[in-house]
Amino acid sequence: MQNATSHIAVEEEQEISARRIFKTIAAELALVEEEFERQAASDVGVIARIGDYLRATGGKRVRPALLLLSVAAAGGDAARYNSIRMAAVMEFLHAATLVHDDIIDNAEMRRGAPSINSRFGNNAAVLVGDWLYMSAFETSLQERSLEILEILTAVTRKMVEGELIQLTLLGRADISEEQYFDVLRRKTAYLFSACCEIGAILAGADAGSQRALREYGLNIGTAFQLVDDLLDFTATDEMLGKPAGVDLLEGKVTLPLIYLLRREPAFAAAVQEVMRDGSYENFSRAALMSAAEETQALEEARSRASGLAEEARIALHALPASEFRDALDALPAYITMRES
């Protein structure tokens, strides 16, 4: 009971922290929710139902918030309709990747609720994921910006490539650190980077500011996914709102295990067995966590996330001081310290 109470307290504190960081764009984020609802509307009943479900079970809208904060930090107006519209586009792209990822992973839960594929079936989920991608591009065309379209096309290609590369690495215990980060950047970080760079473009920022926000997004996005992978390794089901420890069961070796196997190669057989069986029955998750703690593998992975967060903060030095830059500056600490 005490653990459950403690988790609720941590969750509430994280929600408060997120609200503090995003408070400067709270009104604009509310407009993004309205725009998301408008863009997700469809005469096709199943699309409308799934769109409503996606909106109702949405997360903290980190990617739209990054775009809006980047617009404002670069001297633009985050409340302009094109900023709101593009923020919704980025959430559409993110939602599409989640829908397709959950199908590939056979995931049953997402953010404490049934995943789209488990609720509506794989066939509908695949097609709605495609619909979300196409709708995002259709909306972005209204910007009449070749530069923005090039960024969105490149990031979508990289996300698909990341998923395909990951499929070729499934079930392997010999994944290198370079391979791990290549997949991580493609699947997650480049979309963060695109949010920030497009924000700078919408603001009419100079090349230096655009480059700074692009680098900020890449580093914070890499840190974000690394922390996600750490949480899958260390957190509980209750903390995550979905089953914990599933990455390894699905054949994915993440950074804590890469560092553990570098220090203690003898654990490779156990890691391989867990992936082969899809179960921790013969070698417990607790034993792997204990070994990662004892060998400092977990600490090294956490340190890597903190280093990436700091690199993101350094990139912001190129921007003029403002409350919006302060919000971007506070986000890396929130990301690296979160527990869900």
How confident is the model over 123-159, as pLDDT tens digits?
A: 999 999 999 999 999 999 999 999 999 999 999 999 9
Tokens representing 1 are: 């009971």
Confidence at residue 1, expressed as pLDDT on a 0 to 100 scale: 43
Listed residue (332, 259, 252) closest to 299, CA to CA:
259
The mean per-residue pLDDT over the stretch 31-38 comes to 95
CA 140 to chain centroid, in Å, comes to 21
Confidence at residue 20, expressed as pLDDT on a 0 to 100 scale: 87
Residue 322 Cα distances to 175, 217, 315, angstroms: 42, 18, 15
Q: What DSSP character marks residue 170? A: T
Within 13 Å of residue 30, how many CA atoms lie on the same side as its CB?
6
Other Cβ atoms closer than 10 A to 29:
18
How confident is the model over 318-337, as pLDDT tens digits?
A: 999 999 999 999 999 998 88
- Look up tokens 């992936």; give the residue: 275
Global confidence as pTM: 0.92
How many residues make up the chain in this entry? 340
Helix axes 81-105, 122-140, angle to 10 degrees: 160
Asked if residue 40 lies in contact with residue 52, where contact means CB atoms within 8 angstroms, the answer is yes
Amino acid at 21: I
Asked if residue 144 lies in contact with residue 138, where contact means CB atoms within 8 angstroms, the answer is no
For 208, residues 6+ apart whose C-beta sits below 8 A from its C-beta are 318
Segment (H or E) for 2? helix 2-22
pLDDT at 219 over 80: yes
- Model confidence at 200, in pLDDT bands (50, 70, 90)? very high
Superfamily of chain region 2-337? Farnesyl Diphosphate Synthase (1.10.600.10)
What does the domain layout of the chain look like in residue ranges?
2-337
- Residue with more model confidence, 24 or 16: 24
Other Cβ atoms closer than 10 A to 288:
22
Supply φ then ψ for residue 114, to 5 degrees: -55, 135
Asked if residue 107 lies in contact with residue 81, where contact means CB atoms within 8 angstroms, the answer is no
Rounded to whole angstroms, the Cα distance separating 127 from 121 reads 10
